[in-house]
Amino acid sequence: MAINWQGKRVLVTGAGGFIGSHLAERLVECGATTRAFVHYRSDGSRGWLEPLALSGSVEIVNGDLCDRDVVRQAMDGIDMVFHLAALIAIPYSYQAPLSYVRANVEGTLTILQAAREARVGRVIHTSTSEVYGTAQRVPMDEQHPLSAQSPYAASKIGADQLAQSFWRSFGLPVVTLRPFNAFGPRQSARAVVPTIITQCLAGRTVTLGNLTSRRDLNYVSNIVDAFVLAAEKDAAVGRVIHLGSGREISIEALARLIAELAGVSIDLATQEARVRPKASEVERLLADASLARKLLGWSPAVSLEDGLRRTIEWIREHQDAYCAGAYAV
């Protein structure tokens, strides 16, 4: 039975980011009283959450995930937590692994401890398919072995295990959602889809890293649908749940599909700086999302092609938010 969100007090960490801002908007639309935890910036900016913040639709808490005092204040009176805040760029994790341990492991621990103290009704924790490394079998179900191939992935394994441990040890009602590769409006330039689209719109040559790796891509509104359902379904508590399309595509084929949808002709090039270290490259990800269908009643409503069309049009209208061709670490 669906939650009546009217009067529900929810906290979204990472609400200024890509998926977080879309989720915050959805929760406001549902009628939830929404508090947004945003990483403190000295210029006062709140990322993609700015329109909601200016309209007064959300309550803003500025802070750092590892600051227990600020997190406890943010958790006060909250019924439900959606934890999306994290450092996510894989290439930068090679350069600054400690930052990832602090943000993703220590930050998640701070959220879990505060949620336990505040006796919140549910914590929706965000994982990533990167925790598996290259697929050892496909499609990949939730029992697939974990194999971190980057410091980022290792930090997310640590965060996921902490979330599961708080369910097992303390009965904190945690749901761990594991999205495969999300894309859509507002995604940063460090991700492959906006990297391809911005270059397609700017000229003929699209420069990328590994062209042969294969990914399972999912439009952002599909992911948000699953987050809302995970908050509503009691059967999801204590579980790790895949959010994937069950369809894979190589980076080369993805680039050519985007070019076709954008109505342009392109040449593909590889830049060595964009290629991950050999043993760190995740060659293949393909989700088995049958558990999400069973427990959440979820399946992707927006196809890859339709999602790409929407994203291309959004980036056409916001090209000033990107620097086409620049490699965003």
How far is residue 201 CA from its own chain's centroid? 25
Contacts of 45 (CB under 8 A, 6+ apart): none
CATH of 9-187+218-247+285-302, picked from 3.90.1150.10, 3.40.50.720, 2.60.40.60, 3.90.850.10, is 3.40.50.720
Which pLDDT tens digit goes with each residue over 267-286?
A: 999 998 899 998 999 999 99
Strand partners, 181: 217
pLDDT of the residue at 158: 98
| Average pLDDT of the chain, as a whole number | 95
The structure tokens 């994203």 sit at: 311
Mean pLDDT of the 29-53 span = 88
Helix intervals (H) in the chain: 18-30, 50-55, 68-75, 90-95, 97-100, 107-118, 151-170, 192-202, 220-232, 251-262, 290-296, 304-317
pLDDT of the residue at 151: 98
CA–CA–CA angle 43, 28, 37 (5° rounding)? 35
Which pLDDT tens digit goes with each residue over 242-268?
A: 999 999 999 999 999 999 999 999 999
What are the residue ranges spanned by the domains of the chain?
9-187+218-247+285-302
pLDDT interval class at 187 (50, 70, 90): very high
Mean pLDDT of the 169-197 span = 97
pLDDT of the residue at 1: 57
Residue 79 carries which side chain, given as an amino acid letter? Answer: D
Mean pLDDT of the 167-192 span = 97
Whose CA is closest to 174, among 132, 127, 222? 127
Instruction: Count CB-CB contacts under 10 A for residue 266.
Output: 18
| Residues 322/194, Cβ–Cβ less than 8 Å | yes
Is-above-0.75 flag for pTM? Answer: yes
pLDDT interval class at 88 (50, 70, 90): very high
Q: Is the pLDDT of residue 43 over 90?
A: no
Which pLDDT tens digit goes with each residue over 293-318?
A: 999 999 999 999 999 999 999 999 99
Q: Is the pLDDT of residue 42 over 80?
A: no
Q: Is the peptide bond before 300 cis (omega within 30 degrees of 0)?
A: no
Q: At what angle do helices 251-262 and 192-202 cross, to 10 degrees?
A: 40
Strand partners, 240: 176
Q: Is the pLDDT of residue 193 over 90?
A: yes
pLDDT of the residue at 304: 98
pLDDT interval class at 116 (50, 70, 90): very high
pLDDT of the residue at 127: 98
CA distance 225 to 125: 15
Q: At what angle do helices 107-118 and 68-75 cross, to 10 degrees?
A: 40
